[in-house]
Amino acid sequence: MTVILGFLSPFLPYIIAGLAALIGGTGYVWNAKRKAKNEGIAEQQAKEAQANAKNLQDIQNAAAARPVGGVSDDPNNRDRP
């Protein structure tokens, strides 16, 4: 054990720095992936909300539709007397 430690002692700071960089880099990549995923989810939810708002507006417009006149007022009515 002391032979291995004696051999690695000059490289110990580099090994520790490498491990720290590996752990830090992994955390950075994980955070970036999580952030991108959350942004994608938020973007999809915004699209769905916009589509739902449009559907609701179409439904409200259809509910408010009233006939303008009768069949006899239709210029394309072929059953005119």
Per the structure block, which two tokens stand in for 46?
């915004």
- Neighbour-count burial for 10-37, b at 16+ CB within 10 Å, e otherwise: eeeeeeeeeeeeeeeeeeeeeeeeeeee
The identity of residue 45, as a single letter, is Q
Q: What is the pTM of this model?
A: 0.51
What's the confidence (pLDDT) of residue 81? 59
pLDDT in tens, 47-61: 999 999 999 999 998
CA distances from 36 to 15, 43, 47, 65 (A): 31, 10, 17, 44
Work out the percent of the chain whose per-residue pLDDT is above 70: 85
CA–CA gap between residue 31 and residue 25 (Å, rounded):
10
